[in-house]
Structure 1
Amino acid sequence: MSHTWDPDRYLTYADERGRPFVDLITRIDAHDPTTVVDLGCGPGNLTALLAERWPGAAVSGVDSSPEMIAKAGTTIAGVDFAVGDVRDWVAPDGGVDVLVSNATLQWLPDHLELLPRLVDQVRPGGWFAFQVPGNFDEPSHTIRTELAAQEPYVAHTAGAAVPSSYDAATYLRALQDLGCEVDAWETTYLHVLRGEDPVFTWVSGTGARPTLQALPDGLRLEFEGELKERLRAAYPDDGRGVVLPFRRIFAVARRAEI
């Protein structure tokens, strides 16, 4: 079941969403790369950090969402953006020096099997780094899953995309099996969110978006109201902001030299 993305909604918590990206690229020890690609670049605001990190490189961003690429193209100068699918993307000119994928692979149920092909797009001695959410057992996800499985919603939401990921050790071993030198870890961020129904605002821009778009208008409003109520109970605001724990899984791999 297809869905679309809203760049402005996604960017509501841009600083919080950007922290894992910064932590990820800090661990990439690439010196003077010539080609850097952000695979699943979204609205491009973080791709700009790659251009700042490696000003001598040709930096490009690829995303399957035309809406995200349109946003990126109007706000980021000096970076090439294109619509493309992670599953069939092919690196230009025989490979890239740095390949980054931030909060994208969790949308591909077979992404573990996709890792060999992605590593193959990196030149020998180059770097492949990615980050995925690891919080799918948290109320921000389980409440949506439970609610979507109930009547009258389930008839519409059964085919909606649902993100998933593995633990850091699984990614470490998978990349080691491909001959890479690997640094893998996890971090739980404690985001303090403010505003009206901030957790709903967060999830409606990412993990819950396919479920919400699968519902017809009237039923969507009913679903949203119930989801907001349950999220408020799970993430109470004591006057100092709502705390959203968010676990992230990281892997930075260097492809072996030939």
Structure 2
Amino acid sequence: MADKAQGHTDWSPERYGRFRDLRLRPALDLLARVPVLPEQGRVIDLGCGSGAVAEELSRRFTKRKIVGVDNSVEMLKKAAATGAYHRCDLVDIQSWEPTNKPPALIFSNAALQWLPDHAALLPRLAGMLRPGGVLAVQMPRQNGAPSHRFLREFAAEMFPDRFDFTGWVPPVADLPDYARILQPLGEADLWQTDYLQRLRLQGDGHPIRHFTEATIMRPFLEKLTAAEQEAFVKRYERALEVAYPPEADGSVLFPFRRVFLVVKVS
């Protein structure tokens, strides 16, 4: 999901798609826990990106219209090309609202972590559903891991004029916090999974840098000149080599935590 609301440029479907299978598995795990939906209503793929989950949604909900929503032009082109969506809407997901009747399912895979104030956001989204509708959300919760922590630490040290994380709060909260937010809305199912991802070499550079450069690195690099980017990436790669050393075959093991929220509204 592109985050132009935060001033970021458009996403690269090619870079994001390098690790398609690793990014798709959590979406399928989320989809597997979506309960029975009301008889009527559309399925909204909120922050659909390039449409990685489109075919699976279409296969699961064969008789429903599926609408992709994203604010990346390039990602939506890829999504529309899947042929699985009834429509693809170019909309900032932070301000999105259904244009027709209330949907039966709002499905959001790895998108809402870019948006603030989940205590207000999740009830607002749930309130858009028809009675018995389902809100299903998956978000990475990786900000305490070296792969993500290094970015904040190095940016603040190297470029304090542009990066200040004083009072910084992780964008994804603890599960008990989400339980308290969702409990008044309906029947909630929450869980957390640590995926042990094996990343293999893909050209020059540390595999985890290739993984993060399509997502969490973007807002950092966009504030740097070309020379600053080079220095920043070099330092990041050196730190990654220590935190995530290569295995005998050259791959690296990359533990990655994700949070899942499913609520069937009352």
TM-score (norm 1): 0.92
- State yes or no: 1:171 paired with 2:181: no
Aligned length: 252
Ranges in structure 1 where 5+ consecutive residues have no aligned partner = none
Partner residue of 2:239 out of 230, 234, 252: 230
Q: Counterpart of 2:257 in structure 1: which amino acid?
A: R
Instruction: Kindly report which structure 2 residues correspond to 1:114-125, keeping only aligned pairs within 5 A, or say none.
Output: 114-125=121-132
Tell me the distance in 1 between the aligned counterparts of 2:164 and 2:8: 14
Which residue in 1 is equivalent to 2:258?
Answer: 248
Partner of 1:15: 21
1:132 aligns with 2:139: yes
The aligned residue for residue 189 of structure 1 is 195
Aligned to 2:7: 2
1:107 touches 1:163 (CA, 8 Å); kept in 2?
no
User: CA 1:72 to 1:173, structure 2 compared with 1: closer, same or farther past 3 Å?
Assistant: same
Change in 2 beyond 3 A, CA 1:239/1:39 = same
When residues 163 and 78 of structure 1 are mapped into structure 2, their CA distance, relative to the original with a 3 A threshold, is same
The match for 1:212 is 221
Secondary structure of 1:48's counterpart equals: helix
**2:44 maps to what in 1?**
37
Matched-pair identity in %: 37
Q: Is 1:198–2:244 an aligned residue pair?
A: no
Structure 1 residue ranges, 4+ long, deviating more than 6 angstroms after superposition: none
Q: Counterpart amino acid of 1:103?
A: A
Over aligned residues, Cα RMSD in angstroms? 1.9
Does 2:237 correspond to 1:221?
no
**Partner SS state of residue 123, structure 1:** coil
Once the two structures are superposed, residues 32-91 of structure 1 have per-residue CA deviations (whole angstroms, 9 ceiling, x without a partner) of 654100101111121221111111110011112222112222x31131211112221111
After superposition, the Cα gap between the structure-2 partners of 1:236 and 1:33, relative to the gap in structure 1 and judged at 3 Å, is farther
String of CA shifts for 1:185-241, please: whole Å, max 9, x gaps.
000000000104110001111111111111111211111111111111111002242
* Cα distance in structure 1, aligned partners of 2:62 and 2:71: 25
Query: d(CA) in 2 for partners of 1:217 and 1:163?
Result: 28
Which letter maps to 1:21?
A
Partner Cα separation in structure 2 for residue 204 and residue 52 of structure 1:
31
Distance in structure 1 (CA, Å) of the matches to 2:15 and 2:33:
29
- The answer for unaligned runs of 5 or more in structure 2 is 1-5
